[in-house]
Chains A and B, each alone.
Chain A
C-alpha cells in the first residue's frame, strides 16, 4: 500500500469549511483513497472514498488531483463534533482488507 503524508494538526473555525490534505504520491493505479476519522478514543469511522473522480456524500467531499498523488477531504461546515483525528488510507480494490493507519491529522474545530 502507498505511504501517506498528512499535516499533524489543523484548526478550523466552527461553521467554516475544513480542508484536510493528504499526499499519496506513490499510490498505484488500483488503489482507492479512503478517509476515516477517530473521535477521541472512540472506534474509527468511515467517511468517504474515491479512485480518481471527486466524490461527495452526506458527511464530506473528496477531491483527488488528476495525477492522483494527493487528495483533500472537505468538511463543508465544520462543527465542534468534527474535532477528531482524520486518516487518509490508500487501499487496493477488491475483497475486504485490513486498514493501515498512519499518524493522521488532528483537526480541532474552534468555537
Chain B
C-alpha cells in the first residue's frame, strides 16, 4: 500500500461525456502527478502540481484539466471523451520520503469510453 488513494477504481462512460478522477496523496507529500497509461502509448506524464500550483505539464490534451486543492487532494477532469481516452490513469505523490523523485503511485483508475 503506497498511501496514495484514487477513486473510482473503474469508470465506464460514453463518448462525449465528462468525468472526474480523484487522488489523495500520501500524508505530507506536496507534489501530485498524473500519468496516463494506454496500450499504444505506454506510461505518459500528464501534469504535476506542487502545493496547489501547477508545476509542470506534459502531454495533456486541452480537453483535460486538473487542480490541487488546499487539502492537497487533486482531481483530473476529462471532458468530451473519445474512445482513445480509454486508459489507466495513475496519480503519484512525492515530497516527504526524503528521496528526491521517489514517487508513490496509487492503484489507478481504469477508464473505459464506449
Using a CB–CB cutoff of 8 Å, the interface residues on chain A facing chain B are: 32, 34, 38, 41-46, 49, 91, 93-103
Contact = CB atoms under 8 A, between A and B. Distances in A.
Question: SS class of chain A's interface: helix, strand, loop or mixed?
Answer: loop
A86 to B, nearest CB: 13
Most chain-B CB neighbours within 10 Å: which of A91, A95, A102?
A: A95
Interface stretch (B13-21, B74-82, B88-96): B88-96
B101 A49 contact: yes
Nearest to B106: A43
Interface residues of B, number: 29
A50 to B, nearest CB: 12
Most chain-A CB neighbours within 10 Å: which of B4, B31, B99, B101?
A: B101
Contacts, number: 63
B45 A99 contact: yes
A38 B102 CA distance: 14
B42 A99 contact: no
Most chain-A CB neighbours within 10 Å: which of B42, B43, B92, B104?
A: B43
B58 interface: yes
B33 A98 contact: yes
A93 B88 contact: no
B101 A99 contact: yes
A59 to B, nearest CB: 12
A99 to B, nearest CB: 6
Contacts of A38: 43
B2 to A, nearest CB: 6
Contact of B107 (A42, A99, A100, A102): A42
